[in-house]
Amino acid sequence: MTVLKATRRDLLKGAAAASLAGALPMPAIGQGAPLKIGLMLPYTGTFAKLGKFIDDGFRLNVEQAGGKLGGRAVEYVQLDDESEPGKATDNMNRLVGRDKVDVVVGTVHSGVVMAMAKIAKDTNTMLVVPNAGANDVTRAMCAPNIWRTSFSNWQPCFPMGKVMYDAGHRNIMTITWRYAAGLEDVEAIKESFVKLGGKITEELYLPFPQVEFQALITQIAQKKPDAVFAFFAGGGAVKFVKDYAAAGLRTSIPLYGPGFLTDGTLPAQGPDAEGIKTTLHYADDLDNPANKAFLAAFKQKTGQEGDVYAVQGFDAAALLNVGLTATKGDFAAKDAMYAAMRAAKIDSPRGPISFSRANNVVQNIYLREAKGGLNRYVSVAHADLADPALGCRASS
């Protein structure tokens, strides 16, 4: 690292002298040049609101730090990934190869993030994941330059098995989109629920991002499980919760899920979401100063109520700020930056967070209940939950 710093200083000295002499422009390295951040998020499609809130949360944190991270000015390159795994490799290559960003912040969709993580790993580009939960990103794919401030798909779902079992349910059905996030969510609840003695009687799937739920909801009504576990998010979650209530099942077959089912969606779901219990690393009414300050600032900036996605974006900037503050804005001092991030203890709106050896966030998982337009805190379903990081061998 000392060698890197000396080399950089020499480069800057040489380039500055040359620039003064009018022979060369200043190279775009060092603390003087803004840090180039690629925001690769869905700005259209069923996850559009999620992407926008992550973006807003990230920018809010940077604005609160005077438009800088670790004293270093930032500039953004925005890219709409459309939650389209088929375009993910080209999109990521564009940011890394053509736009030459220093760090990529993204994305929402588990299938898209897998392609991003592969390129981040191959090119040693720093990637901070502010939502997508694909387990392998911080398991088999883990790397020193790959970080996640949101969750692994396992984290919010594993505690739900005990919640549903303790509520007296023994035979449940699951319903979700057939892609990495849906499949891993079902695996996680199965792991805890079946171990306790519960049974998953049927797993229902439809392709992402389809929202024609009717035939599957009819099957649920006919088979009458004790309860249903569902993962949908964004526009899909709004439609599913409304269709479920319209079929008359809201009060007869209780609906549960990871908190994405009702987070950021309650204004559109209205009374159809009332009483739905979910597990997540955030609740609207968490009674801590960081959450109160965050919600007020987010409202002032955007005119909207903050949600878990905005918090995850906010914390992605907070984590980068920790790293860059430790190196006084020097992005080339990677070892020192990553060491500071690994040791980070952040006072997040979701409560205290830290980072595992796989660079995945360690956090409380809360049981919440949708009541009167808020996802209200009920209890801590699992304190300080770390993903097991199975297969991670190379994160530091």
Minimum distance from residue 129 beta carbon to ligand BEZ (Å): 9
Kindly indicate which of the ranges 128-136, 222-230, 312-320, 373-381 contains the residues binding ligand BEZ, using the contact rule CB under 6 A. Answer: 128-136
Tell me phi and psi for residue 227, to 5 degrees. -165, 170
Minimum distance from residue 166 beta carbon to ligand BEZ (Å): 24
167-226 residues near ligand BEZ, rule: CB under 6 A: 181
Minimum distance from residue 284 beta carbon to ligand BEZ (Å): 17
Minimum distance from residue 183 beta carbon to ligand BEZ (Å): 10
Minimum distance from residue 394 beta carbon to ligand BEZ (Å): 22
User: CA-to-CA distance for 11 and 139, rounded, in angstroms?
Assistant: 37
Kindly indicate which of the ranges 66-74, 102-110, 278-286, 344-352 contains the residues binding ligand BEZ, using the contact rule CB under 6 A. Answer: 102-110
Our CB check for ligand BEZ shows the closer of 81 and 102 to be: 81
Counting contacts by CB under 6 A, is residue 244 touching ligand BEZ?
Answer: no
Handedness of CA 332, 334, 340, 342 (dihedral sign): positive
Our CB check for ligand BEZ shows the closer of 55 and 102 to be: 55
Kindly indicate which of the ranges 4-12, 129-137, 274-282, 375-383 contains the residues binding ligand BEZ, using the contact rule CB under 6 A. Answer: 129-137
Rule CB under 6 A: choose which of 53, 154, 244, 260 binds ligand BEZ: 260
Rule CB under 6 A: choose which of 39, 132, 160, 173 binds ligand BEZ: 132
Neighbours of 347 (CB within 10 A): 13
Counting contacts by CB under 6 A, is residue 108 touching ligand BEZ?
Answer: yes
CA 358 from centroid of its chain's CA atoms: 15
Minimum distance from residue 139 beta carbon to ligand BEZ (Å): 14
Rule CB under 6 A: choose which of 49, 109, 239, 382 binds ligand BEZ: 109
Our CB check for ligand BEZ shows the closer of 74 and 238 to be: 238
Torsion of CA 278, 280, 284, 290, to 10 degrees: 160
Our CB check for ligand BEZ shows the closer of 181 and 228 to be: 181
Minimum distance from residue 121 beta carbon to ligand BEZ (Å): 18
User: CA-to-CA distance for 35 and 125, rounded, in angstroms?
Assistant: 13
Counting contacts by CB under 6 A, is residue 233 touching ligand BEZ?
Answer: yes
Our CB check for ligand BEZ shows the closer of 130 and 133 to be: 133
Our CB check for ligand BEZ shows the closer of 260 and 294 to be: 260
Size of the site for ligand BEZ (CB under 6 A): 10
Counting contacts by CB under 6 A, is residue 110 touching ligand BEZ?
Answer: yes
29-88 residues near ligand BEZ, rule: CB under 6 A: 47
Minimum distance from residue 31 beta carbon to ligand BEZ (Å): 35
Tell me phi and psi for residue 40, to 5 degrees. -105, 100
Counting contacts by CB under 6 A, is residue 237 touching ligand BEZ?
Answer: no
Our CB check for ligand BEZ shows the closer of 35 and 228 to be: 228
Contacts with ligand BEZ by CB under 6 A lie at: 47, 108-110, 131-133, 181, 233, 260
